[in-house]
């Protein structure tokens, strides 16, 4: 009997120990992603930080966001390593890239989603490994995003539309003149906000929206093809073009020129791409929206490094995902740029030099604009 009792007691003790172990494991797995208490970040000074960007058709990512982010991380943490990948406009590819980074042991993911809804799966996988995710520039539709770093995107659309409406008035065009709208990608959550902001101005302006298009993947050739069709349909009835960014604006302007639309109507843009600034100098594009990529990238890098240390910085505001979840956010202020303030914005901030803008093809236009 004593032997039987002892065996039973031993079995009960083992079961209790196993249960306690399982509870501890569950407790560790349920930590807040911001705690970042994982094996991947045992040494924050040598942490790996993942940077996932959405496409290669948008000029800014390679020229600004990536190098600025990498440099700031290096400044803050010389031993940290940035793992970089670009989805090239493919949500499935971005998913694979994220999985690879998680396997390689990143401590933080900085994610600019190609598809805001599809990227929620990336956030779920990161959460399962207790890895925080910073949603960069575009907001992932997930309540589990740790932070969001971007600009006031409705304000971007309002700036674009206000500039277009005001310019058309300056030109003495009828109050109900026709415009076309070339919006951004339907998979980009920011594009919906740009459009919302633009419509808040255009819908009360009296202007007539002849047609409207959401450009798949922000691809300039698709924007150009669509605008070509509208030129065939409406011709010189097109007195203005709301265009959501500089790259698609380039496609729209090419279509307008090919269709013989003269004079060119005012065309909006966004991102202060070098090509967009040069078109503004040349008079082909009316305006762009300058979003200071350096402070945006710096803010994301600072947050990423803080999270590798287990810190939880306080965000000044919040932003809502498409599904209504409130995310701690850092939102910067966009600025409208026309030929009149190029010198005081993108040149003053060091985004471009005069020499970079004023190549031989634009030398005469630059001189006329006072850029020498």
pLDDT tens, 317-369? Answer: 999 999 999 999 999 999 999 999 999 999 998 899 999 999 999 999 999 99
Q: What is the pLDDT of residues 126-180, one digit of tens each?
A: 999 999 999 999 999 999 999 999 999 999 999 999 999 999 999 999 999 999 9
Phi, psi of 110 (to 5 degrees): -105, 110
Residue 6 maps to a domain:
no
Instruction: Give domain status of residue 17, yes or no.
Output: no
| Res. 224: pLDDT tops 50 | yes
Containing structural domain, residue 138: 37-151+293-332
- Cα separation, 99 vs 92, whole angstroms: 11
Cβ atoms of 180 and 238 within 8 Å: the answer is yes
- Structural domain count of the chain: 2
Residues 228 and 83 in one domain: no
Which residue is listed with tokens 């698609």? Answer: 248
| Closest-CA residue to 86 (of 54, 120, 114) | 54
81 domain-assigned: yes
Average pLDDT over residues 76-93: 97
Q: What is the CATH number of the domain that holds 249?
A: 3.40.50.2300
> Tokens 């008079």 sit at which residue?
283
Q: For residue 241, is pLDDT > 90? A: yes
Cα distances (angstroms) measured from residue 65 to each of 136, 232, 372: 10, 38, 27
Helices (H), the chain: 2-29, 59-60, 66-76, 91-103, 120-128, 153-170, 189-202, 220-234, 246-258, 274-282, 293-308, 354-357, 363-368
Judge if 341 and 314 occupy the same domain.
no
Residue 77, exposed/middle/buried by CB under 10 A (0-12, 13-18, 19+)?
buried
Residues 164 and 309 in one domain: no
Q: Is the pLDDT of residue 186 over 80?
A: yes
- How far apart CA 64 and CA 69 sit, in angstroms, is 8
């Amino acid at each position: 009997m004593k032997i039987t009792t002892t065996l039973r007691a031993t079995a009960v003790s083992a079961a209790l120990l196993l249960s306690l172990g399982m509870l501890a494991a569950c407790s560790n797995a349920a930590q807040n992603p911001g705690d970042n208490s994982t094996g991947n970040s045992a040494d924050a000074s040598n942490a790996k930080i993942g940077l996932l960007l959405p496409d290669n058709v948008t000029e800014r990512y390679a020229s600004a966001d990536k190098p600025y982010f990498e440099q700031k991380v290096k400044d803050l943490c010389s031993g940290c390593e940035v793992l970089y990948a670009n989805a090239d406009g493919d949500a499935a590819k971005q998913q694979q890239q994220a999985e690879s980074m998680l396997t390689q042991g990143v401590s933080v993911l900085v994610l600019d989603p190609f598809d805001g809804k599809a990227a929620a799966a990336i956030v779920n996988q990161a959460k399962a490994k207790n890895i925080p995710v910073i949603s960069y520039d575009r907001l992932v539709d997930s309540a589990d995003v740790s932070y969001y770093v971007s600009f006031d995107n409705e304000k971007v659309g309002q700036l674009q539309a206000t500039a277009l409406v005001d310019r058309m008035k300056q030109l003495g065009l009828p109050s109900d003149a026709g415009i076309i709208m070339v919006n951004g990608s339907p998979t980009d959550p920011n594009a919906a906000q740009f459009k919302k902001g633009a419509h808040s101005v255009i819908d009360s302006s009296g202007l007539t929206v002849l047609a409207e298009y959401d450009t798949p993947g922000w691809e300039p050739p698709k924007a150009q093809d669509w605008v070509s069709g509208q030129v065939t349909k409406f011709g010189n009835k097109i007195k203005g073009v709301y265009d959501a960014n500089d790259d698609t604006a380039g496609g729209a302007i090419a279509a307008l020129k090919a269709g013989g639309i003269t004079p060119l109507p005012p065309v909006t843009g966004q991102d202060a791409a070098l090509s967009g600034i040069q078109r503004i100098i040349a008079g082909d594009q009316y305006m762009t929206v300058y979003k200071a990529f350096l402070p945006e990238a710096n803010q994301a890098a600072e947050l990423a490094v803080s999270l590798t240390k287990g810190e939880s910085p306080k965000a000044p505001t919040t932003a809502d995902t498409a599904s209504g979840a409130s995310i701690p956010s850092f939102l910067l202020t966009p600025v409208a740029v026309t030929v009149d303030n190029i010198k005081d914005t993108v040149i003053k901030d060091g985004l471009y030099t005069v020499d970079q803008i004023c190549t031989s093809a634009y030398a005469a236009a630059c001189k006329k604009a006072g850029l020498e």
